[in-house]
A and B are shown apart, each in its own frame.
Chain A
Amino acid sequence: MTDTTFNGATPDDNGKVSPGSAWRWLLRHPPVVTFSLIVLVCLVVGTINTDFWQVSNLFDILRASVVRGLFALGVLVVLASGGIDVSFTAIAAFVMYTVTMLVTNLLPGLPMPVILLVAAAGGACFGALNGLLVHTLRAPSLIVTIGTQYVIRSFLLTFVGTALFMNIPSSMEAFGKLALFTHQGANGSISVLPAFVLVLAVAAVVTWWILERTLIGRAVYAVGGNPGIAERLGYNLRTVHIFVFAYAGLLAGIAGIMHVASNRLANPFDLAGTELEIIAAVVLGGARITGGSGSVIGTLLGVVLITLVSNVLILVGIPSTWQLAIIGVFIVLAGTVFSLRARG
């Protein structure tokens, strides 16, 4: 994490820390801004309604962050390479519904790891197709993925099915119920932290490792910084384009299965329309929409911030219709701060 491992304020030319340098340090470390917003929301909500400080609340937020988080990590990788992907929800919906249907009808005893593997592979195939189209057509990835989103969604609803699966395969149901941690509240209520939050944790570590510790990870940022220069220096644009979209597709496939496991229901109409929220979370975490930046830690914080706002405002009596407005204000705020960084 180039953006976050550098500790302390940057010394100016004289080696001293000037008053302005704390501000500059903040601008170079956007996750700090995101983290401050999270703390702010927690303090405000927690002061007004002390019910906020409950373990069950924390568990709810973590549970609700899993699918968003998986999506967001994929979006981060695509954004870092200078592209954008809006087809991941359609890929997730297609994979979750098709896999659930196949397993239920044909292979009811299939174990969970195999299901995850199949979903990841299916998602990666769709993603690779996105990457191939973006590369060979030299078309803006926003346009390409709007196109593939519509095609995939329409194909799912026309040829695969529209009926809900209420009875999901037993292995998926068991996985969704698996508890990592159980907590008994003071009033005797029991809250559970599901084990599938570990999937997000593993995905985050793997994504961080790929981005920061492998050549392809650095190539992703290089292409996002300036594709022309990256190509001249010998980075293979085709590999990078296919990789980032395939990786986003892979995570979307896994996210789809997580969605089914946690809701115990496979609905082909689910997830549609949440693309912008996910992209907003990644941008709130400090990734620039124009590419070449962003970190895993920032992305996770952005996801937590968005989930927090969607989950807890109800505790302080703010109607849920206001959530969007608050998220909107945060996005504009973060966008302003981060664009100050660009202006120096």
Chain B
Amino acid sequence: MQLKHEAGAPPQGGEIATATIPYLEIRNIQKSFGGVRALKGVSLSIEPGQIYHLMGENGCGKSTLIKIISGAQPADGGELLIDGKPVGHLTPVAALAAGIETVYQDFSLLPNLSVAENVGLTQQLVAASGKLARRLDLTQMRQTAERALAAVNLPTSRAFLSTRTDELPMATRQLIAIARAIASDARLVIMDEPTTALTKHEVDNLIGIVTRLRAKGVAVLFVTHKLDECKEIGGRAVIMRDGQKVAECDIADHTKAELGFWMTGKVLDEARYRSAPKFGDDLLSVDALSLKGAFANVSFSMRRGEIVGITGLLDSGRNELARAIAGVVPADAGRIRLDGKDVTPRKPADAIDAGIGYVPEDRLSEGLFLEKPIEENIVVPVLDRLRGAFGILDGRRSRELAKRSVADLQVVTPDVANPVQSLSGGNQQRVLIGRWLTINPKLLVLHGPTVGVDVGSKDTIYRIIQRLADEGMGVIIISDDLLELLQNCDRIMVMRKGEVVETFEAETLKEEALYRALVEETTARTPQ
């Protein structure tokens, strides 16, 4: 990823003929968290029946903007107008009453309530203006749910209506979330990264729903960073960077490269990091590894110095496979051999002892001790090696180890005594990688190594991964960032429905081919 700057001013909005009053007008909205200015004055007009794509990298402020529009958080400054009238701060119920419906990225379904309740309750809550001392209208709830479910092609049987939502597959939950959004008279439907958990077929279904909404004069706002899908759906692109709207344009008028440049401020080079790999002896052999309900019969082997990528959709079993190799959630059948020795871990400590380092996907909840110093975060797996006299931790050696690690991985910090939360996402990720390097692992499993990491930091992390492999370490990268896998891996395995369905040589592979393998429809997954 060579970083170059490109000339050319991004277009600003306002090219739409605005004969009518826009449905929703956002004027100079500002929002700060602590000292950080998440939104620095954003303005946007939403016209009925239009499709918008709110695009930008992680941390650009797009989620904050959505939260303000849907009433989840108040703005610090600026104005919101609906049908030309100022509305002040929206509450969730006020936003819903005004016709603003949001399909959240996590779907925001209540896990313990039934499908009918998840779809139909909101309407009654809005009708009661958020007051709770009201009788339920069960008939109306059921009818609303049936109508909305039919509109998204889900079944409307009694049995389905009374099913708890946490018993349903991800794609079905997504459709239920959409059904809830269109159950009452929506005028703007916001969809926060709606296609993450969907197969190609399901995305087509979604596009069909959006087309029908549009025909009824409903505006749709997608929040996304998938350029391909935006181009396919069409509409207007609203591009944010660093808390500001940097461009607004018709998406068909601009190339992916231009859109990507406005999102990142950088020209992305898709060249491979991997060059001239040198493989050593056999390192890892995974033999018929299975975990009921997650993945089955996964077998592969790799050599020293090899980088293997694993990808798949959210429910493909890739996450569970990564956790099983690290012993976090052990497999219930099969074997993992490292250097010919059976090391199938039953708990994380087994994997560590065997020389398997695991950098989890969610570094905040699974990995780092955020309030603790960088030093403590790095040395934690090797505390017993740092024992000095009387078994007391040797502070000097611990400090030296941490400093070496920080220098080695180019973590930007003045002092290893600072807490980890003082670092940016990319630097936090490097601290986490540094921790596992202290055990000199034979195999490093990286789960989503650059999730929530900015472009510059990605570059550094990729270079570190390449260096580790060159030094003879085996590396497994589990990721849904296809470009990341293509740039870094020797081989890429694709998982679907718990099985490894294809293995590619990465060097000659095209991104389109990998994407097709990822989403290829096997059977319909909506329940009948």
Q: Which chain A residues have a beta carbon within 8 Å of chain B's beta carbons?
A: 2, 6, 10-11, 13, 212-219, 221-222, 224-226, 229-236, 239-240, 243, 292-293, 344
Complex Cα distance A225/B126, Å? 20
Number of chain B interface residues as a range: 35 or more
Q: Which of B50-58, B90-98, B365-373 lies at the interface?
A: B90-98
Structural contact, A2 and B110, CB atoms closer than 8 A: no
Min distance, Cβ B342 to any Cβ of chain A, angstroms: 27
Contacts A/B (CB < 8 Å), 10 sampled: A10-B159, A214-B132, A215-B132, A221-B110, A224-B112, A229-B109, A229-B110, A234-B91, A234-B126, A239-B132
Main SS of the interface on chain A?
helix
The chain B residue with its CB closest to the CB of A11 is B159
Q: A222-B113, A225-B113, A292-B112 are in contact. Are A13 and B132 (CB under 8 A)?
A: no
Closest 8 CB pairs of A and B: A234-B92, A225-B112, A292-B112, A216-B132, A234-B93, A225-B110, A215-B134, A229-B108
For A344, list chain B residues within 8 Å (CB).
167, 293
Complex Cα distance A232/B114, Å? 18
Q: A214-B134, A218-B113 are in contact. Are A235 and B72 (CB under 8 A)?
A: no
Q: A214-B136, A218-B136 are in contact. Are A235 and B125 (CB under 8 A)?
A: yes
Structural contact, B132 and A235, CB atoms closer than 8 A: yes
Q: For A234, give its contact among B117, B130, B527 (CB under 8 Å).
A: B130
Interface string of B114-127 (1 = CB under 8 A from A): 10010001101110
Min distance, Cβ A315 to any Cβ of chain B, angstroms: 40
- Known A215-B134, A218-B113; 11 more pairs at CB < 8 Å: A6-B162, A214-B134, A222-B110, A222-B113, A225-B111, A225-B112, A225-B113, A232-B104, A234-B91, A236-B132, A243-B132
Q: Which chain B residues have a beta carbon within 8 Å of chain A's beta carbons?
A: 70-72, 91-93, 96, 104, 106, 108-114, 117, 121-122, 124-126, 128, 130-136, 138, 159, 162, 167, 293, 527-528
For B125, list chain A residues within 8 Å (CB).
215, 233-235
Complex Cα distance A337/B247, Å? 56
Min distance, Cβ A15 to any Cβ of chain B, angstroms: 8
Structural contact, A233 and B132, CB atoms closer than 8 A: no
Min distance, Cβ A2 to any Cβ of chain B, angstroms: 6
Structural contact, A226 and B114, CB atoms closer than 8 A: no
Structural contact, A219 and B108, CB atoms closer than 8 A: no
Structural contact, B293 and A2, CB atoms closer than 8 A: no
Main SS of the interface on chain B?
loop
The chain A residue with its CB closest to the CB of B111 is A225
For A218, list chain B residues within 8 Å (CB).
113, 117, 121, 136
Min distance, Cβ A245 to any Cβ of chain B, angstroms: 15
Q: For B108, give its contact among A215, A216, A233, A236 (CB under 8 Å).
A: A233
For A217, list chain B residues within 8 Å (CB).
136
Structural contact, A292 and B111, CB atoms closer than 8 A: yes
Structural contact, B72 and A232, CB atoms closer than 8 A: yes
The chain B residue with its CB closest to the CB of A343 is B293
Min distance, Cβ A220 to any Cβ of chain B, angstroms: 9
Structural contact, B132 and A2, CB atoms closer than 8 A: no
Complex Cα distance A231/B125, Å? 12
For B110, list chain A residues within 8 Å (CB).
221-222, 225-226, 229-230, 233
For A225, list chain B residues within 8 Å (CB).
110-113
Complex Cα distance A243/B70, Å? 26
Q: A232-B104, A234-B91, A234-B122 are in contact. Are A226 and B132 (CB under 8 A)?
A: no
- Most chain A CB within 10 A, of B96, B110, B113, B122, is at B110
Structural contact, A2 and B133, CB atoms closer than 8 A: no
Min distance, Cβ A298 to any Cβ of chain B, angstroms: 14
The chain A residue with its CB closest to the CB of B102 is A232
Structural contact, A219 and B72, CB atoms closer than 8 A: no
Complex Cα distance A234/B527, Å? 29
For B117, list chain A residues within 8 Å (CB).
218
Min distance, Cβ B220 to any Cβ of chain A, angstroms: 20
For A213, list chain B residues within 8 Å (CB).
135-136, 138
The chain A residue with its CB closest to the CB of B114 is A2
For A240, list chain B residues within 8 Å (CB).
132
